[in-house]
Structure 1
Amino acid sequence: MKTIAILVFTAFLMISCTSKSNKIIAQKDYDKYMEIKDNKSKDFAQNEINFWQAKYDKAPNQTSYLSQLASNYSKLFENTGDVKYLYKVEALLLQVNKEYKYTAVGPIRSLGRNYISQHRFREALVLANKALAIGEGMKETQKLLFDVNMELGNYAEAEKNLKYLTNKTDFDYLIRVSKWNDHLGDLKTAITFMEKAKEIAVINDNKSLKIWTFSNLGDLNGHDGNIQKSYDYYLKTLAIEPNNSYALKGIAWIAFSNEKDTKEATRIIDNISKRHHTPDFYLLKAQIAEYENNQALKSKNLSEYFNMLNTINYGAMYNKYNTLIYADDKNTAAKALEIAKIEIDHRPTPDSYDLLAWSYYNLGDSKKALEIEQKYVVGKSFEPKLNYHLATIYKANNMMAKVAPIKKELLKSTFELGPTLEKKITNL
């Protein structure tokens, strides 16, 4: 389920709302989650792995035990952010599918979800279609197809997949129709459907689904400009799962973007990274350093970010962020262009084409950038970061009449974009 959000690595960069000056967060609300010594969810998953590994060692012909192992290694990945667990899941599922000769739809779909987490979207689509051809569990396969088609920008196909889900009170339908409406820019409807999904999770007292819906409602309410409600939902998430790094990241972003409290935001980030260490923490710290006009600290954090990527193989998972970093430096903009082209091959979405346009713009070819934006981005995305790039490219092409209305909307989205970009928006 968490793979729908894919989200465990970049959540703090993707919350959106109107910036407010009033203080919302209070350390007393979340300090008890900052120095937790144990991690019950992680320990439970590890114990389950030990249990199923012992059973498999005694009966290596029981392929179903491998699926149990894969499921729990996936939980370890979610809990720690350690990508080695994601690759362990892949290895186990490849073995399962090999033994079943790719005839069982469950393991095929599980491997497809693993590939989504790795940003191997085209391979995930191949597996989803393989499951579809087998014909069993069609509704579950349509859910996977919806997820991967959304990632690939195949929105017409994704809409068809959604129509196959006829049970309008099903949890999995509700969270997907919420995602669909968010994609359409209808945030009120997206929140309404996610609230309905939350009610199902609460009624059934399903811990994992409550965590999932509470944390996503934290995001969506941030998008809607209700930072207080966003904060409250993150606290509700932590009350259920004290080690939930996703919710703490959300609070760190509120501290930075809404309250300009860089010291507190950094304190939270440093704390989370002790137990959930992923490269994106360095990106946020670099963003904070830039806001503080501390170029040396920004460079240090970006260096740590790239060192981590060079040490650990993350595949294509950070291509988007690498492109943005390289594009913003004239000396590396050509490298950004190369990665943007790879991203379009991986997932030809408006987001990927925007990366291409932004790379051309930073290479000095604003006309080429405009051509790409007009063909692949304009009217196809509601993401403020993309609209900031679009407005900047319009300005470079002396199309100021088009800049003004975008600037007006961007000033309503400074919470997502952050204090650093807020300064740049005012200069558009």
Structure 2
Amino acid sequence: MAKSEEQKVQKAATAAEQEGVTEQTTVMAPLSDEAVKAAVEAEKVKDTKKKKAKKKQTIYTIKLIPDDDGDTKSIRLSERVLKYGIASVAAGALLFVGAFSYSVYSTFANQNGAAEIHELREVNNIQQEQLLQLSKKANALQDELDQLTQLESDLRRMSGASPAQDDGSGDGSGLTNDGTSGQHDGQGGPYAQQPSLDNVSEALDNVAKDIEKRRASLLALQEELKAQQESMGTPGMVSLPGSLVGSTVSVTTPTGWPARGEVSSPYGLRWNGSDFHPGIDIANDMGTPIVATADGTVTTAGWNSGGYGNMVDIDHGNGITTRYGHAMQVVVSAGQHVRRGQIIAYMGSTGFSTGPHVHYEVRVNGQAVNPVSYL
């Protein structure tokens, strides 16, 4: 009992001593400036550590669980990697959508362009076909006009009337200057040329002019026949004068025929309208002389690869040139001055040709014109 009391007293004393110590330790002397700075720095370090701990990146785990109860696989991604991945996928998706849209647009644009080109080609083919049909009609009209001209010539010969003033049709078809009509049929020129709108228009204009000439010639024939009937005691009307008036022509103006023969192919559309002939073909025997139709300077003498064969071009000045194609032999040279009537070549069948003839062209300022008016 006494020991117990004694132990309690000792514990109380010990506790009192501890409290005294505690009270002594809590009473501290004032801190110096250096100690205060050190304490502040320590607090800053603690705050920095806390912020770093807060900024610690979050880790995401993606688990792949197979259907066959196999091993589960985990993929750990940091928040930064996940953000970059999502951004990359979004950018790739945008690029894909943009590329796909551009591809679709380009496809439709190309299809529309191809459709337009196809439509234009069809329209062009239709126009070419229409032009060909028109040229065939023009050629048919010219053939009918030639037949009418031949009929008029027969009537004049049978009735004893004077020949027509134009001595044949306006395009030169059927003309001859050696009395050998029907014995030669050589034709040619440059390689076959597709008729153009200008060619067909010119051919139709020539047909219209020839129709007017033929009408006037037939009216003159009518008046002449009436005059003949009147002279035989049959009432009639007085015929119209029809004499040709001669004129002086410059030596540099193409005049007359380049060779003896007959016109086997006229100027204009031919071969059922499939070719435009820029000159006239005068056919005769091989070796028939070909002469210059006016004074001038030879600009070309020799082979031509465009279908004319052996060819001679003569410049007569004032924008007028003449061309002589398909010769067997050329006897002049480029730069040589020639005179009207001088032999420049001999008739042949070289180049694009079906028989011996001379292809004769008259060009004014580079444009081929109907040579008949110069014969």
TM-score (norm 2): 0.24
Greater length-normalized contact order (CA 8 Å, ≥ 6 residues apart): 1
Give the structure with the higher percent strand. Answer: 2
TM-score (norm 1): 0.21
